Amino acid sequence: MGFKLRPGTSLFGNMTFTPDDVVNSPPSISNILSEYTLVPGEDIVITADGVDLNGDPITWSYAESSDLNGSTVSQSDNVFTISPAQEPSSFQLSFTATDPLGAASTFVSSFLKPPTPAMRITTEYNHAPGRHSLGARNVRL
């Protein structure tokens, strides 16, 4: 608008302006993927980004949406470190950005166990001379 009013300033007769109903928007969350693959011995470090449209500071947190099955999570402000178990199982984490007035946004990521590698099985048959054996076959268990 083209004018400013101080709190308590009269507009029309006994009507006054008081800025007590400012719309508070939840922070937005970025720089977090929806899926990560767990590799034993390799930490996953996520540096979450967030913007609060009202310019409020953001507090970060996480919650386990399912059992971590031996994997661990540590947090330092907006940096989350996931350390997979030696034999990791899949799980989910919810990352939340909250402003001081309680407006919050949450993003859920899935952490997937590594795919089972294909096994190479070689089958040979002993046939009469001049006959060939069957070759190798790839089998996924």
Burial class (CB in 10 A: 0-12, 13-18, 19+), 18: exposed
Residue numbers of the chain with a pLDDT score lower than 70: 1-22, 120-141
| 33, part of any domain | yes
Asked whether residue 84 is domain-assigned, the answer is yes
pLDDT of residue 139: 54
Cα Rg of the chain, angstroms: 28
| pLDDT value at residue 1 | 41
86 assigned to some structural domain: yes
Give the residue numbers spanning the domain of 72. Answer: 28-112
Give the total number of structural domains in the chain.
1
CATH of the domain at 102: 2.60.40.10
In a domain, 7, yes or no: no
| pLDDT number for residue 18 | 47
In a domain, 133, yes or no: no
Q: Is residue 96 within 8 Å of residue 63, measured between CB atoms?
A: yes
**Structural domain includes residue 14:** no
Q: pTM for the complete prediction? A: 0.69
What is the CA 66 to chain-centroid distance, rounded?
13
